Amino acid sequence: MTIYPDTVAGIANALAKRELSSVEITRHYLDRINALDRQINSYITICEAHALEQARAADRRIASGQGAPLTGVPYAHKDIFCTKGIRTSCGSRMLDNFISPYDATVTEHLNNAGMVLLGKTNMDEFAMGSSNETSFYGPVANPWKFDSVPGGSSGGSAAAVAARLAPCATGTDTGGSIRQPAALCGITGLKPTYGRVSRYGMIAFASSLDQGGPMATNAHDCALLMNVLAGFDAKDSTSVDHPTEDYSATLGHSIKGLKCGVPKQYFDKSLDPAVAASIRQAITELESLGAQCVEVDLPSTELAIPSYYVISSAECSSNMSRYDGVRFGYRCRDPVDLQDMYTRTRGEGFGKETKRRILIGTYALSSGYYDAYYTKAQQIRRIIQQDFKNALAEVDVLLGPTSPTVAFGLGQKSSEPVSMYLSDIYTTAINLAGLPALSMPAGFVDELPVGLQIIGDFFSESKLLQIAHQYQQVTGWHLLAPPLGG
């Protein structure tokens, strides 16, 4: 039985040394998916033929000496990114029959890098959710405990990576959707600075908050994938023309003297005490590497969730208007007139959570309520950003738990929207501020992973990856894989 490398770096290395072919490693992952994904449901569309075709092309490219660093390395792609000629469903019945006629810019980057698309991963419908329970294609199981959630909305990507059904994956993060599933599944995930990764072709949920990023078992792999994803895109007006860098260049640097701030508001009654203990342990670990940790103040922490929900719902209510059954996607059967077509298409095509958010957003923007809700939320957004700026003026990065609990049970919170929203307490503020943040595995509680979040200043992705990498040199959480029932 062949032992295949299961990291991006390992696979890339083996491919470069011709110890392995892309076709071989791709087949390996496809076999694993076929054997194991039934239990996890992390993939919506498996692209077997396409993957092998890409793998063959990658092998030819490597053989001719034209390979890029990650040519031939397989990946899983969140089904929110448009892939030309391949179904792009966004986890929704609304797009179940949608074959995207174009590639997202991120997809183009991955194709140009010669990476191999294993398939499109499961996700909360239209990226709205924190548990991957709202998908039209059924919930995703946490590979560590099948009756627990993997987190969301990038639950499929996180579960696939954790279960070694892909060496890495793309995710998107609007209020924590990369970091929280990464934490709950015990992997590493990075939400870049807003505007760092192109949103063109990344189906919009909340335009001023959405950002795509890498997910893998460790920081080094995330850095390598980040090199492919990052960059200015003229097709995205919110894309920032900031120079890119090699995100793996400084991974090996020591973190001696690194100043870390731990927001005191994070350690309140909503944080599970066992998780808190894990986090404190991880912080101690970082201190032993030379980091200096102090307590800092983020007074607006509590306001992040309400502000986030108003802004994201408002933007989403407008972004979702294009799903109307006219030009693509789901259309209800036998509409009697235009209004019937609209209301039934959208009533049947959207799931409950999506409908809730559209209604909230519509309400918040409607005449008479705009100032009380939308304007107020944007004002709080500025206050939150200022709080971070103040804190990051004193320290290099902020540290804390990614999620207040480990993975909760399937169905446990899905009937209580507010309770679900509260699980985003540590992550949403970062999206409001536009800052980059990373989650890495830092322990276990009740056999379920705990994630540590590292928050940095604008465009400090390299530093975040460096800190995680240094931590991963002296700890082994990131090396553990779920047993998957045998």
* DSSP secondary structure letter of residue 166: S
Which residue blocks in 366-458 are alpha helix, DSSP H? 370, 376-394, 417-422, 428-433
Task: Give me the least distance between CB of 382 and other proteins, in Å please.
Answer: 4
- Whether omega for the bond prior to residue 153 falls within 30 degrees of 0, making it cis, is yes
Q: Which one among 4, 146, 267, 328 touches other proteins, defined by CB under 8 A? A: 328
Which one, 25 or 203, has the nearer CB to other proteins?
203
Number of residues that bind other proteins (CB under 8 A): 100
Burial class (CB in 10 A: 0-12, 13-18, 19+), 225: buried
Q: What gap in Å lies between CA 325 and CA 469, rounded to an integer? A: 47
Give the nearest distance from C-beta 477 to other proteins in angstroms: 31
> Among 145, 346, 463, 469, which residue interacts with other proteins (rule: CB under 8 A)?
346
Helix (H, G, I), strand (E, B) or coil at 211: strand
**Looking at 1-9, 20-28, 173-181, 188-196, which segment touches other proteins (CB under 8 A)?**
188-196
Angle at the Cα of 264 from the Cα atoms of 262 and 268, rounded to 5 degrees: 125
Of the candidate spans 244-252, 359-367, 395-403, 437-445, the one that interacts with other proteins by CB under 8 A turns out to be 359-367
Q: Is 2 near other proteins (CB under 8 A)? A: no
Distance CA 293, CA 346 (A): 50
CB of 192 to other proteins, least distance (A): 12
> Where does this chain touch other proteins (CB under 8 A) — which range of 6-14, 197-205, 395-403, 475-483?
197-205
Footprint on residues 210-239 left by other proteins (CB under 8 A): 234-238
Using CA atoms, how far apart are residues 189 and 172, in angstroms rounded to an integer?
Answer: 10
471 binding other proteins? (CB under 8 A): no
Q: Which of residues 56-115 bind other proteins (CB under 8 A)?
A: 81-82, 88, 90, 95, 97-102, 104
CB-based burial, 119-149: b 16+ in 10 Å, e otherwise = bbbbbbbbbbbbbbbbbbbebbbbbbbeebb
The tokens describing 59, both together, are 């092998």
Among candidate residues 258, 323, 272, 301, the one with its CA nearest the CA of residue 425: 301
**Residues belonging to the active site:** 78, 153, 177
**Of positions 116, 203, 296, 397, contacts other proteins by CB under 8 A:** 203
201 binds other proteins (CB under 8 A): yes
The tokens describing 110, both together, are: 């991955």
List the one residue from 75, 266, 374, 477 that touches other proteins (CB under 8 A).
374
**Closest Cα partner for 121 from 151, 156, 94?**
156
Cβ proximity to other proteins, 459 vs 477, nearer residue: 459
Among 46-54, 141-149, 288-296, 332-340, the segment contacting other proteins (CB under 8 A): 332-340
- Taking CB under 8 A as the criterion, which residues in 12-51 touch other proteins? none
Among 8, 11, 165, 202, binds other proteins (CB under 8 A): 202
282-301: contacts with other proteins (CB under 8 A)? 300
